[in-house]
């Protein structure tokens, strides 16, 4: 019997490895930037076209590579970072497994230009799908330039799974920010489609954070610092009043490596206990330095998860550090017994005596005297406007005195007005249009076959969703002007996204006064929203677009409409007046697809009379 197990060819093995290492263009950006940092570069430039689908180029001024290393770096498991297994627990560099460049070369067109300091000529290599097309000496500057073109050109199925250009570029910016925040001493720049988005000079940590997330970030930051035998904690956290609903600006770095840790995030949230409203998230930039032998970074392909030796002690140290800093900088609430000077007596009347009011009394006034008239005290009294009721008996002159007729008349009135049962079918139809709210969450209305129970939140989402889609495609929505424009602050990447969304948001009813480098002024909002919701609505739209779906399934307008519908719909727990309940019921069944919400969840259920009767059967 022949053997069924055989070794995979190198190009197939590299494509399989690429499935773990290269998930999207942002994965290539991460690997190339980390290689540039490990090469001890002081200047790194990232050039991207079409969100990385056409070109990803990283240029650095690092140590470069020789002829042999330039060719060998594309082989699997070729690395300069480790020599023995013990080196895995003493890693100070970013990459170490030696699979990144081999995986990238297997699924793209790669061009490498590199030269070491002191050498006259460098090396120029062109690789297409693990096949080396050329390797020649070339005149190139010191350092390394990696160009990755036509990503996933030989795996069209993987390319089809890529999301929209906006989403993919957002992931690239995320990876870029994670690297630049970890290395503030290095100069970084980012160019997308010919436009320079970031140009970050060498600086300290606080200046780097402000450079990445706009100038107004400086006033939001509270420094934290703690040094123990187990860990050294440095960084910044945001003040509670600047908390957001999204979790965008939250960064953990361990030994200058970005990580994700729900456990450490919980420690930070515990420090903010009692300072934040429900659903809000603080921003933080926390840097942990621990001994390399106390962590294991080889537990995840992307190396974004780390295993610590003593997580419980680290949790306690981080929580107390953040809480101490918030209290030290007067961020935590305190009792204020200071005197308010606005309540003091004005200086010019401090020594003056009070003027006592005088009372005028008419001792001769008799209210029962017909001839007496009240004295004039500045306004006419009630008696001056009284009508003459001396002949009040005339009102009853023609009144019938037949007690039986009066009794029979009142008896007939009671019969007409006191009926306990509805006998007219028209009255039944009128009462069936009434609605009732249950637990401030559901709306119940009767129908001919039974009852309909409507989820008010999902129903309102469906109504708003179809209304917003209509506004973007057919007719623009109406706006309500604000007395004072609302000023909102965003990062550079969010401002770029707002420029792309401006047309769609204006069709929704938003009016933009101006959009600067980090501030947006809004002077008009949709008629079914209020001023306090503007910041949350815009943030939700940006967050949903950044993590949206592929262009092959949903359009950008669809994502915007869903995001606005979710943000502006009535919430569960809100009391609705009778008219509001009826508007939701009528609006829901006027929709094209009333049965489901925009997120494919049922909006109502029907209970027939048979279903109700079954509940009463023994």
Q: Which of 286-295, 339-348, 426-435 has the highest mean pLDDT?
A: 286-295
pLDDT value of residue 14? 63
Residue whose pair of structure tokens reads 């300072």 in the numeric block = 275
At 441, is the pLDDT very low, low, confident or very high (cuts 50, 70, 90)?
Answer: very high
Q: For the whole model, what pTM was predicted?
A: 0.68
β-bridge pairing 221-227 and 109-115: unpaired
According to DSSP, residue 185 is labeled T
Nearest to 29 by CA among 128, 108, 114: 108
What is the mean pLDDT of the segment spanning 11-39?
79
Least reliable range by pLDDT among 330-334, 356-360, 461-465, 525-529: 330-334
Is the pLDDT confidence value at 141 over 80?
yes
Beta-carbon contacts of 612 under 8 Å, excluding residues fewer than 6 positions away, are 450, 451
- Helix-strand-coil split of the chain, %, nearest 5: 40, 20, 40
Q: Which residues pair with 192 in a beta bridge?
A: 48, 195
Q: Which residue has the higher pLDDT, 284 or 502?
A: 284
Q: Which residue has the higher pLDDT, 602 or 514?
A: 602
pLDDT value of residue 114? 92
Which uninterrupted H or E stretch holds 524?
strand 519-526
Cα separation, 539 vs 281, in Å, equals 13
Least reliable range by pLDDT among 84-93, 240-249, 411-420, 452-461: 411-420
Is the pLDDT confidence value at 350 over 90?
no
- Percent pLDDT > 90 in the chain is 24
According to DSSP, residue 80 is labeled S
Q: Which residue has the higher pLDDT, 553 or 99?
A: 99
Query: Which residues in 291-309 are b (16+ Cβ under 10 Å) and which e?
Result: eeeebebeeeeebeebebe
What is the mean pLDDT of the segment spanning 361-378?
65
What is the mean pLDDT of the segment spanning 397-410?
49
Helices (H) and strands (E) in the chain, counts: 17, 22
Nearest to 267 by CA among 216, 194, 331, 320: 320
State whether residue 523 is helix, strand or coil.
Answer: strand
What is the mean pLDDT of the segment spanning 347-364?
75
Least reliable range by pLDDT among 259-273, 310-324, 420-434, 534-548: 420-434
At 385, is the pLDDT very low, low, confident or very high (cuts 50, 70, 90)?
Answer: very low
Which uninterrupted H or E stretch holds 40?
none
At 101, is the pLDDT very low, low, confident or very high (cuts 50, 70, 90)?
Answer: confident
Cα separation, 109 vs 149, in Å, equals 5
pLDDT value of residue 261? 87
Q: Tell me the DSSP string of 566-614.
A: HHHSPPTT----HHHHHHHHHHHTTSSSTTB-TTS-B-EEEEEHHHHHH
Q: Which residue has the higher pLDDT, 86 or 540?
A: 540
Q: Are 326 and 271 in contact, with CB atoms under 8 Å apart?
A: yes
Rounded to 10°, the helix 492-508/534-546 angle is 110
Cα separation, 199 vs 183, in Å, equals 14
Is the pLDDT confidence value at 195 over 50?
yes
Could you give all domains of the chain from N- to C-terminal order, each with its CATH number?
10-200 (3.30.565.10), 205-328 (3.30.230.10), 442-607 (3.30.1370.100)
pLDDT value of residue 408? 44
pLDDT value of residue 45? 95
Reported as a single tens digit per residue, the pLDDT across 214-248 is 767 888 899 999 998 889 999 999 988 888 877 77
pLDDT value of residue 124? 93
pLDDT value of residue 430? 46
* Alpha-carbon distance values, 163 to 25, 81, 107, 167 (Å): 11, 34, 18, 6
Residue whose pair of structure tokens reads 């992307």 in the numeric block = 302
Cα separation, 233 vs 253, in Å, equals 10
Q: Which residues pair with 226 in a beta bridge?
A: 233
At 252, is the pLDDT very low, low, confident or very high (cuts 50, 70, 90)?
Answer: very high
Is the pLDDT confidence value at 307 over 60?
yes
pLDDT value of residue 432? 45
Cα separation, 435 vs 295, in Å, equals 61
What is the mean pLDDT of the segment spanning 418-423?
40
At 288, is the pLDDT very low, low, confident or very high (cuts 50, 70, 90)?
Answer: very high
- Torsion angle in degrees (nearest 10) through CA of 212, 214, 218, 221: -60
According to DSSP, residue 550 is labeled -
The beta strand positions in 22-75, using DSSP E, are 43-49, 55-60
Q: Are 183 and 37 in contact, with CB atoms under 8 Å apart?
A: yes
Nearest to 32 by CA among 49, 46, 19, 20: 46
Reported as a single tens digit per residue, the pLDDT across 465-479 is 988 888 777 767 778
Q: Which of 7-16, 79-88, 240-249, 330-339 has the highest mean pLDDT?
A: 240-249
According to DSSP, residue 48 is labeled E
Beta-carbon contacts of 280 under 8 Å, excluding residues fewer than 6 positions away, are 243, 244, 245
Residues 598, 600, 604, CA angle at the centre, nearest 5°? 90
Residue whose pair of structure tokens reads 């600067």 in the numeric block = 516
- Rounded mean pLDDT of the chain? 79
Q: Are 301 and 21 in contact, with CB atoms under 8 Å apart?
A: yes
Q: Are 51 and 73 in contact, with CB atoms under 8 Å apart?
A: no
pLDDT value of residue 17? 60
What is the mean pLDDT of the segment spanning 410-430?
41
Alpha helix segments (H runs only) across 522-577: 534-546, 556-568
Reported as a single tens digit per residue, the pLDDT across 147-165 is 999 988 888 878 888 887 8
What is the mean pLDDT of the segment spanning 359-372?
74
Q: Are 130 and 10 in contact, with CB atoms under 8 Å apart?
A: yes
């Amino acid at each position: 019997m022949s053997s069924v197990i055989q070794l995979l060819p190198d190009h197939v093995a590299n494509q399989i490895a690429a499935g773990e290492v290269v998930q999207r263009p942002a994965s290539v950006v991460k690997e190339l930037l980390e290689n540039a940092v490990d090469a001890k570069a002081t200047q790194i430039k990232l050039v991207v076209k079409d969100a990385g689908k056409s070109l990803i180029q990283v240029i650095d001024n690092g140590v470069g590579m020789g002829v042999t290393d330039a060719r060998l770096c594309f082989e699997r498991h070729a690395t300069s970072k480790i020599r023995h297994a013990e080196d895995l627990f003493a890693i100070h560099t970013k990459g170490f497994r030696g699979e990144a460049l081999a995986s990238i070369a297997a699924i793209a067109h790669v061009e490498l230009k590199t030269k070491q300091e002191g050498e006259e000529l460098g090396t120029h290599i062109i690789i297409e799908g693990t096949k080396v097309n050329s390797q020649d000496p070339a005149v190139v500057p010191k350092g390394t330039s990696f160009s990755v073109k036509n990503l996933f050109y030989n795996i069209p199925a993987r390319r089809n799974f890529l999301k929209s250009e906006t989403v993919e570029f957002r992931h690239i910016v995320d990876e870029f920010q994670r690297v630049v925040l970890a290395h503030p001493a290095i100069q970084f720049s980012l160019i997308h489609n010919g436009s320079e988005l970031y140009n970050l000079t060498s600086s300290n940590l606080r200046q780097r954070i402000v450079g990445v997330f706009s100038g107004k970030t400086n006033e939001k930051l509270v420094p934290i610092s703690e040094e123990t035998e187990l860990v050294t904690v440095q960084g910044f956290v945001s003040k509670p009043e600047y908390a957001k609903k999204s979790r965008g600006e939250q960064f953990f770095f361990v030994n200058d490596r970005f990580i994700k840790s729900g456990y450490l995030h919980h420690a930070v949230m515990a420090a903010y206990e009692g300072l934040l409203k429900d659903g809000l998230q603080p921003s933080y930039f926390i840097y942990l330095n621990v001994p390399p032998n106390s962590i294991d970074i080889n537990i995840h392909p992307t190396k974004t998860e780390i295993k610590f030796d003593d997580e419980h002690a680290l949790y306690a140290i981080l929580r107390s550090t953040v809480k101490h800093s918030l209290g030290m900088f007067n961020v935590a609430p305190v009792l204020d017994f200071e005197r308010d000077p606005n309540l003091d007596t004005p200086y010019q009347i401090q020594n003056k005596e009070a003027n006592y009011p005088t009372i005028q009394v008419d001792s001769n006034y008799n209210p029962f005297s017909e001839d007496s008239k009240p004295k004039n005290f500045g306004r006419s009294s009630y008696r001056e406007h009284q009508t003459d009721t001396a002949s009040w008996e005339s009102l009853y002159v023609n009144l019938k005195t037949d007690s039986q007729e009066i009794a029979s008349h009142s008896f007939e009135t009671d019969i007409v007005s006191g009926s306990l049962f509805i006998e007219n079918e028209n009255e039944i139809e009128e009462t069936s249009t009434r609605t009732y709210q249950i637990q401030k969450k559901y709306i119940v209305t009767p129908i001919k076959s039974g009852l309909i129970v409507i989820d008010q939140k999902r129903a309102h989402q469906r109504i708003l969703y179809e209304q917003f889609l209509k506004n973007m495609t057919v007719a623009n929505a109406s706006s309500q002007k604000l007395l004072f424009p609302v000023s909102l602050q965003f990062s550079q990447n969010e401002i770029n996204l707002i420029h792309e969304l401006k047309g769609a948001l204006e069709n929704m009813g938003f009016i933009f006064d101006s959009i600067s480098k980090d501030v947006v002024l809004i002077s008009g909002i949709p008629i079914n929203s209020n001023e306090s919701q503007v910041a949350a609505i815009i943030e939700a739209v940006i967050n949903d677009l950044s993590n949206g779906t592929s262009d092959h399934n949903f359009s950008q307008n669809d994502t915007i409409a869903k995001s606005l519908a979710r943000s502006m719909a009535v919430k569960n727990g809100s009391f609705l007046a009778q008219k509001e309940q009826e508007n939701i019921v009528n609006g829901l069944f006027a929709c094209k697809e009333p049965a489901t919400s925009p997120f494919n969840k049922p909006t109502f259920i029907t209970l027939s009379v048979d279903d109700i009767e079954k509940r009463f059967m023994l």
